[in-house]
């Protein structure tokens, strides 16, 4: 064989005998989403969205020829919804596929478990990063589990820092469920500050007489640590009875230079497990409820004193009556604040025999519907579930949560006249209405009631 022919076949260069590197082609357009109203820079605009082969997007004024077109016929396109308070920490290895199924059908493209998460973040990302996912996923440092495992403060702080170094998106702690001395909580917040990650806090009190003390404590933690503090579901812990006062405290703290945010979910009732501290002795007096007021989630069965004890042993989840947290006195007030966003605090873990708050399947479609019903603009309520939560997790979420050239194509196509959650206490496992398509990293993850490609990726530092 002639030397020139040999070199051509082997890709070897005449200059130094090194292999020639293959030319890397730029990503090309794979499809174009057309015919919709697109949320760009906080306003609805007429534009076409090109989706590239690498999962990114391109805003187009004209539809190029020769590219497959997805015509959405007058519907609306927003960034994919971001759930910063997703919850699937109990047994994620067994339940994550069910959890993600009901998130994506509610328009969620990224579910971040910032109210719990993992106590072994490196192992978590290694394990789940090797598995297929319908949506993007990520976790915070789960301080409660670290405190169970580590007997001394020094060991606990070391473990939290190791998890942050492994890429955790923040630090989370629930001091109502696991009462912790203030000075110890402050140390966890200082580590969040050190790594410039948010500190997610479930407040200490949920009773009428003491809930504002919990808000004051969160403000003190932000002031004395310098951390960005996020208050979990303020309407069920901190502002159930005194929401206007709680919001005023947070507003004033932010005006002084602190950085405090909060979230709510669009339901007038809370639900939690019977074995949690919320149902410690005195719960009936504390909340003004009785056994018959509690509903077993998944059936709607009303409890009795006997079934309360039985279901407590089974660690079942129950819901309190609708109206326990009046929408107009709690959630609606919070949604008016620029520092308040939507977070589900939920996830569907079982099917059949569902025992999860309906917010795990319907939170975001319900939030859009409710926002419109109380007079918010569509772009305002969409901001509460896209750009605002995105801002908490920067720079890890810098390419998501907004529509612009080069961002990842995490998108939701919906009809604002029809969008709504269908999940209920009796049957939480229901897909939301009015959401016709969901793209995750440029792939169709859901379309018209049918699940699609699994293209979710880990979100971490």
pLDDT, position 277: 86
pLDDT, position 25: 53
Of the chain, the end-to-end C-alpha distance in Å amounts to 53
In a domain, residue 188? The reply is yes
* 435 Cβ contact partners less than 8 Å away, ≥ 6 residues apart: 105, 106, 107, 365, 412, 413, 414, 419, 446
Tens-place pLDDT, residues 132-190: 999 999 999 999 999 999 999 999 999 999 999 999 999 999 999 999 999 999 999 99
- Separation between Cα atoms, residue 398 and residue 408, nearest integer Å: 9
Domain of residue 178 covers 77-270+320-451
Tens-place pLDDT, residues 183-205: 999 999 999 999 999 999 999 99
* 314 Cβ contact partners less than 8 Å away, ≥ 6 residues apart: none
In a domain, residue 177? The reply is yes
pLDDT, position 26: 63
In a domain, residue 148? The reply is yes
One DSSP character per residue, 23-74 reads: PPPPP-EEEEEESSEEEETTEEEE-EEEEETTSBEEEESSPPTTS-EEE-TT
In a domain, residue 58? The reply is no
Local confidence band at 13 (pLDDT 50, 70, 90 cut-offs): very low
The total domain count for the chain is: 1
Tens-place pLDDT, residues 222-280: 999 999 999 999 999 999 999 999 999 999 999 999 999 999 999 998 888 899 888 99
In a domain, residue 284? The reply is no
- Separation between Cα atoms, residue 36 and residue 405, nearest integer Å: 17
In a domain, residue 327? The reply is yes
Can you give the CATH number for the domain in which 166 is found? 3.20.20.140
In a domain, residue 236? The reply is yes
In a domain, residue 103? The reply is yes
């Amino acid at each position: 064989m002639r030397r020139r022919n040999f070199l051509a076949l082997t890709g070897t260069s005449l200059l130094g005998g090194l292999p020639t590197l293959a030319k890397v082609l730029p990503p090309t357009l794979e499809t174009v989403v057309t015919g919709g109203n697109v949320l760009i820079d906080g306003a609805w605009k007429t534009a076409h969205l090109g989706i590239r082969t690498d999962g990114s997007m391109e805003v187009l004024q004209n539809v190029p020829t020769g590219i497959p077109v997805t015509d959405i016929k007058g519907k609306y396109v927003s960034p994919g919804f971001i759930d910063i308070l997703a919850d699937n920490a109990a047994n994620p290895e067994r339940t994550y596929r069910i959890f993600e199924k009901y998130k994506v059908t509610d328009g969620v493209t990224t579910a971040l478990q910032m109210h719990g998460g993992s106590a072994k973040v490196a192992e978590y990302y290694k394990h789940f990063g090797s598995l297929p996912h319908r949506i993007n996923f990520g976790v915070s440092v789960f301080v409660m589990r670290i405190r169970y495992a580590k007997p001394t403060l020094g060991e606990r702080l070391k473990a939290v820092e190791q998890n942050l170094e492994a890429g955790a998106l923040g630090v989370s702690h629930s001091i109502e469920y696991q009462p912790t001395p203030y000075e110890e909580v402050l140390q966890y917040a200082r580590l969040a500050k050190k790594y410039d990650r948010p500190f997610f806090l479930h407040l200490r009190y949920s009773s009428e007489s003491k809930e504002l003390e919990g808000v004051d404590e969160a403000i003190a933690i932000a002031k004395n640590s310098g951390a960005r503090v996020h208050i979990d579901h303020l309407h069920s812990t901190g502002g159930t009875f005194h929401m206007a006062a709680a919001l005023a405290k947070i507003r004033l703290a932010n005006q002084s230079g602190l950085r405090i945010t909060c979230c709510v979910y669009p339901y007038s009732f809370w639900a939690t497990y019977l074995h949690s501290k919320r149902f410690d002795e005195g719960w009936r007096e504390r909340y003004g409820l009785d056994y018959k007021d509690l509903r077993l989630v998944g059936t709607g069965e009303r409890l009795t004193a006997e079934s309360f004890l039985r279901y407590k042993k089974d660690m079942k989840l129950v819901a309190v009556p609708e109206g326990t947290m009046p929408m107009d006195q709690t959630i609606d007030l919070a949604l008016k604040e620029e520092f308040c966003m939507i977070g589900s605090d939920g996830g569907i873990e079982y099917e059949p025999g569902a025992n999860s708050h309906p917010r795990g399947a319907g939170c975001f479609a319900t939030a859009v519907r409710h926002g419109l019903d109380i007079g918010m603009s569509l772009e305002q309520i969409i901001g509460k579930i896209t750009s605002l939560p995105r801002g908490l997790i920067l720079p890890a979420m810098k390419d998501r949560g907004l529509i612009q050239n080069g961002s990842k194509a995490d998108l939701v196509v919906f009809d604002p006249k029809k969008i709504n959650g269908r999940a209920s206490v009796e049957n939480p496992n229901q897909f939301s209405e009015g959401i016709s398509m969901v793209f995750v990293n440029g792939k169709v993850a859901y379309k018209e009631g049918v699940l699609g490609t699994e293209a979710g990726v880990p979100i971490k530092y």
